[in-house]
């Protein structure tokens, strides 16, 4: 056994004949050299992460702002749009999902996709992709709470973690992920909890899926509900998303907003109810009005967490009649904004209440 000048330990053995086998002992080859870097596509939509004063950062400028990125992934870039998240339309959501599906289908060697988004509606876009990107490879949605060239800009750090998450083999099959502030959350469960703080994105009740640690990407749990590759929603067959409105319950709320939604063409309404989905007396009458017009009503909670179970006529003396029961759907544990997205997609494939309730139980 001898030590070479560069610190490599080596040993010579001659087991048979004149064969010479050289065995290198010790870890001396950098990870980037030992294995080919994963290739990850960045698709930008805009948001605070690129909203530099005076103009907006391009995808290439975003990548250039991330230190040491080339040690972890081989980055590709593509601009889908460059606007605030509130400016994205539902048609753009649909086209973005189609584009991501096409990118993943057309490039089997691509490790994953990173999508930038404004944080105001990031959880909604991420959940839509969670239900419509039908691939196992990871799609990671990322943003920042602070603008470029401001003190404490978090965009570069969040981008680095998002690229690492998208390139990690352990991220496959977990659905669409949201990576900010070194934490990894599921698109189904994550919500924005603060208007200003960097640690705004959280999963209430269930906790993070994993973390982007210094040395590697670490996961602690998986999402059990259906998503991505197991989804029944084919975005290539959807030409438009139906109108679905959200109405909140509050003390003394009338049913006027529910009726207005029905009269203005809504195909579904999500009620952000009090507690376990309670509504005001006026809203209950209006929900019956929605039922008479074959408008589906999904009941959720405004509390921020908790599951709404389907009504049971044997236990609830105030259970709705058969017609209303057919149109009244339990939102399970989905936040109102996410229940709206699932209802929109459900209405593109069925008009049966039992089938829609099944979807809320599965996704």
**Environment class of residue 108 by beta-carbon count within 10 Å: exposed (0-12), middle (13-18) or buried (19+)?**
exposed
Task: Record the pTM.
Answer: 0.88
- Asked if residue 11 has pLDDT above 50, the reply is no
Tokens of 72: 């972890």
> Does residue 108 have a pLDDT over 60?
yes
Q: What digits encode the pLDDT tens for the residues 186-209?
A: 999 999 999 999 999 999 999 999
pLDDT of amino acid 203: 97
DSSP-assigned letter for residue 1: -
Sheet with 74-83, strands from edge to edge, namely: 74-83, 39-46, 112-116, 139-142, 177-180, 183-186, 210-212, 217-219
Q: What are phi and psi of 340, to 5 degrees?
A: -60, -45
Our CA angle for 210, 334, 242, nearest 5°, is 120
Q: What tokens were used for 62?
A: 């975003």
Which tens digit of pLDDT belongs to each residue from 245-303?
999 999 999 999 999 999 999 999 999 999 999 999 999 999 999 999 999 999 999 99
Q: Name which of 36, 107, 55, 35 is nearest 78 in CA terms.
A: 107
pLDDT tens for 153-164 read: 999 999 999 999
Domains of the chain: 2-32 (no CATH), 33-230 (3.40.50.1170), 242-362 (3.40.50.40)
- Cα-to-chain-centroid distance, residue 274: 26
Catalytic residues: 48
Cβ count near 143 (within 10 Å): 32
To which H or E segment does residue 77 belong?
strand 74-83
């Amino acid at each position: 056994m001898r030590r070479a000048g560069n610190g490599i330990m080596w040993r010579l053995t001659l087991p048979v004949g004149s064969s010479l086998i050289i065995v290198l002992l010790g870890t001396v080859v950098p990870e980037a050299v030992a294995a080919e870097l994963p290739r990850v596509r960045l698709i930008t939509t805009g948001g605070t992460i690129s909203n530099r004063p005076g103009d907006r950062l391009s995808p290439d400028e975003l990548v250039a702002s991330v230190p040491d990125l080339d040690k972890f992934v081989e980055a590709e870039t593509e601009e889908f749009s460059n606007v605030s998240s509130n400016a994205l339309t539902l048609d753009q959501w649909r086209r973005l999902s189609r584009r991501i599906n096409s990118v993943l289908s057309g490039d089997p060697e691509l490790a994953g996709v990173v999508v930038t988004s404004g944080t105001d509606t990031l959880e909604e876009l991420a959940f839509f992709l969670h239900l419509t990107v039908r691939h196992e490879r990871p799609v990671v949605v990322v943003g920042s709470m602070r603008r470029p060239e401001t003190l404490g800009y978090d965009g570069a750090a969040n981008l680095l973690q998002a690229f690492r998450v998208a390139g990690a083999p352990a991220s496959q099959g977990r659905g669409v992920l949201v990576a900010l502030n070194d934490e990894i959350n599921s698109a189904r469960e994550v919500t924005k909890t603060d208007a200003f703080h960097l640690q705004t994105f959280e999963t209430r009740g269930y906790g993070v899926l994993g973390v982007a640690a210094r040395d590697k990407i670490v996961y602690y749990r998986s999402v059990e509900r259906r998503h991505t590759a197991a989804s029944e929603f084919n975005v290539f067959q959807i030409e438009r998303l139906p109108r679905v409105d959200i109405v909140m319950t509050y003390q003394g709320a009338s049913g006027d907003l529910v009726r207005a939604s029905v009269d203005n063409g809504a195909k579904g309404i999500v009620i952000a109810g009090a507690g376990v989905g309670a509504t005001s007396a006026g809203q209950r009458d209006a929900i019956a009005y929605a039922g008479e017009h074959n408008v589906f009503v999904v009941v959720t909670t405004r509390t921020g967490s908790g599951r709404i179970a389907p009504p049971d006529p044997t236990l609830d003396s105030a259970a709705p009649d058969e017609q209303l029961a057919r149109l009244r759907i339990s939102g399970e544990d989905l936040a109102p904004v996410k229940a709206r997205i699932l209802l929109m997609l459900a209405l593109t494939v069925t008009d049966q209440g039992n089938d829609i309730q099944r979807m809320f139980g599965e996704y």
